[in-house]
């Protein structure tokens, strides 16, 4: 995951006093398996409650497309996207969910949140 990706751009939240949620879904997300080099396909959803800024969609699209030729495990990918969006936006809360298509009969869903107030000792 060392290749640079386009920067995430932001704009002022038009309603910073209101706690509303924004959801962006990329239905054609792709990256590469770091072991085989085969393409991984996913539906990637970003949900957040903005504070002072919102993410600009073209920059988000270009940022996500930056992963197309990168070999990365699902878990690292979802957490890196969360970290980058958290750093760019400083939202009230944010969730990144990757729903990866089946390979070898197994599908995977990886969800990362900030703050992670939903986590319990049992992991549910």
CATH number (domain holding residue 88):
3.30.1130.10
Tell me, yes or no, whether 17 lies in a domain. yes
Q: Is 33 a catalytic residue?
A: yes
Of the candidates 40, 54, 84, 116, the residue annotated as catalytic is: 40
C-alpha 11 chain-centroid distance: 18
Of the candidates 33, 54, 83, 116, the residue annotated as catalytic is: 33
pLDDT surpassing 70 at residue 26: yes
Q: What is the DSSP letter of 57?
A: H
> Token pair of 62, please?
């270009």
Mean pLDDT of the chain: 92
Tell me, yes or no, whether 53 lies in a domain. yes
If one counts every other C-beta atom within 10 angstroms of the C-beta of residue 112, the result is 19
Tell me, yes or no, whether 51 lies in a domain. yes
C-alpha distance across the termini of the chain, in Å: 29
What is the predicted pLDDT for the residue at 2?
55
Tell me, yes or no, whether 119 lies in a domain. no
Tell me, yes or no, whether 5 lies in a domain. no
**Overall domain count for the chain:** 1
pLDDT surpassing 50 at residue 13: yes
Tell me, yes or no, whether 28 lies in a domain. yes
As a whole number of angstroms, the distance between CA 17 and CA 84 comes to 24
Domain containing 106: what range? 10-114
Tell me, yes or no, whether 124 lies in a domain. no
Tell me, yes or no, whether 32 lies in a domain. yes
Q: How deeply is 30 buried, as exposed, middle or buried, from its count of CB atoms within 10 A (0-12, 13-18, 19+)?
A: middle
If one counts every other C-beta atom within 10 angstroms of the C-beta of residue 96, the result is 24
pLDDT in tens, 82-118: 999 999 999 999 999 999 998 888 999 999 999 976 6
């Amino acid at each position: 995951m060392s290749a640079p990706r386009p920067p995430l751009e932001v704009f002022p939240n038009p309603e910073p006093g209101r706690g509303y949620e924004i959801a962006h879904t990329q239905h054609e997300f792709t990256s590469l398996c770091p072991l085989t080099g085969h393409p991984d396909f996913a539906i990637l959803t970003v949900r957040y409650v903005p504070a002072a800024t919102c993410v600009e969609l073209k920059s988000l699209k270009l940022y996500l497309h930056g992963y197309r030729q990168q070999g990365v495990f699902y878990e690292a990918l979802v957490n890196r996207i969360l970290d980058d969006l958290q750093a760019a936006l400083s939202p009230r809360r944010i969730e990144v969910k990757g729903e990866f298509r089946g390979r070898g009969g197994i599908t995977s869903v990886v969800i990362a949140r900030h703050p992670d107030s939903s986590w319990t000792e049992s992991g549910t």
